[in-house]
Amino acid sequence: MVVCSKCNRNRAVIKLRSKGIYLCERCFKEYFMDKVMLALRRAGVLNSLRGKKVLVATSGGKDSLNALYVMHTLSEDYDVDVKAVLINEGIRGYRELTIQAFMKFCNALKVKSKVVSIENEYKFSIDYVARAYLSGLINYKPCTVCGVLKRHLVNRIAVEEEADYVVTGHNMDDEVQTFLINIVRGTVKNLAREGILTGGVLGFVPRLKPLYYVTDKESLTFFLVNKFETPIVECPYASLSLRYHIRLFLNELEYKSPGTKERLLELKDKFRASLSKLTETVQLKRCIICGQPTTREICRACEIVLQVRKITD
């Protein structure tokens, strides 16, 4: 039996390769929550969390359900009003399964929840977008449309719910992937955009990522040791995105050189700190179609919707 390197007593449930240590269930849960608290402290929200309204945007997957669980746990100490929303993209054979897991999870925690459908809101599904993309009718990849529309919809719902924060389940792996995607695409300005806490200007409800310092492996372990349940399914369109290939590349690097992801996250945060001083503050205005904040006349979501509707009409 491998014993926990911290308490030297209990059976280990995880090996942290970058640190060369093993942790048992109890010590790992503490370690996990310490990372969550560190993220909230660094975001500067911990002292002002009391009495706030939080909307947790979940996919029914392990990360966002973990995020929902930690916010629910904190809600008792900090008197936070927690609600959850899931956006149904209309991806058959995938999303139905996680919706069930999401509803079950919310019921068990007694958290108010709702499911909002992209098809009802925009009159087309992501399955439709994927078919159109694969047959060459549009240039937008399904993940581009899906990501932009989900953010658009979640922000609108958060405004309607008068939420102070939108909480998401983005973990360290997601953050490092985004960092590399921006480098590969040369979108330097975006390097300074994503942090533990972003937004909060002119109608953008601040987005908070409590799992910012938690790796994907740690998130999975936390989910399993808590005996949470969700089907292990992957979106059929994930492999069409650049993120998918960056993820595989990063996992290989991490395997060969443990700690790569942590080092890249540190590098990203350094870039972010210096870039945010250099990038001039953009002027936001309201989209002339939907009224949501944007730097242009028509926001990216409305632009995409107009393009897709051209082929549906």
Q: Which residues bind ligand Q46 (CB under 6 A)?
A: 59, 89, 126, 142-143, 146-147, 235, 237-238, 241
Per partner kind, with CB cut-offs from 5 to 8 A, the member of Zn ion, ligand Q46, none near residue 235 is ligand Q46
Please give the C-alpha separations between residue 36 and each of 16, 179, 189, in angstroms, as whole numbers: 17, 20, 27
What part of residues 72-91 is at the interface with Zn ion (CB under 5 A)? none
Q: Does position 275 bind Zn ion by CB under 5 A?
A: no
What part of residues 287-306 is at the interface with Zn ion (CB under 5 A)? 287, 289-290, 299, 302
Q: Using alpha carbons, select from 107, 50, 59 the residue that is nearest to residue 230.
A: 59
User: Which are the contacts of 90, defined by CB distance < 8 A and separation ≥ 6?
Assistant: 117, 118, 119, 124, 125, 126, 127, 128
Per partner kind, with CB cut-offs from 5 to 8 A, the member of Zn ion, ligand Q46, none near residue 237 is ligand Q46
User: Which are the contacts of 311, defined by CB distance < 8 A and separation ≥ 6?
Assistant: 132, 137, 138
Per partner kind, with CB cut-offs from 5 to 8 A, the member of Zn ion, ligand Q46, none near residue 302 is Zn ion
- The residues with which 58 forms a beta bridge, in sequence order, are 86
CB nearer Zn ion, residue 81 or residue 303:
303
Backbone angles phi, psi at 85, to 5 degrees: -135, 145
In whole angstroms, the minimum distance from the beta carbon of 123 to Zn ion comes to 15
CB nearer ligand Q46, residue 107 or residue 312:
312
Contact 299, 287 (CB under 8 A): yes
CA distance 248 to 244: 6
In whole angstroms, the minimum distance from the beta carbon of 139 to ligand Q46 comes to 15
Cα-based angle 74, 75, 78 (whole degrees, multiple of 5): 80
Per partner kind, with CB cut-offs from 5 to 8 A, the member of ligand Q46, Zn ion, none near residue 124 is none
In whole angstroms, the minimum distance from the beta carbon of 146 to Zn ion comes to 16
Token pair for 52: 């706030």
Per partner kind, with CB cut-offs from 5 to 8 A, the member of Zn ion, ligand Q46, none near residue 89 is ligand Q46
Per partner kind, with CB cut-offs from 5 to 8 A, the member of ligand Q46, Zn ion, none near residue 146 is ligand Q46
Which stretches of the chain bind Zn ion, using CB under 5 A?
287, 289-290, 299, 302
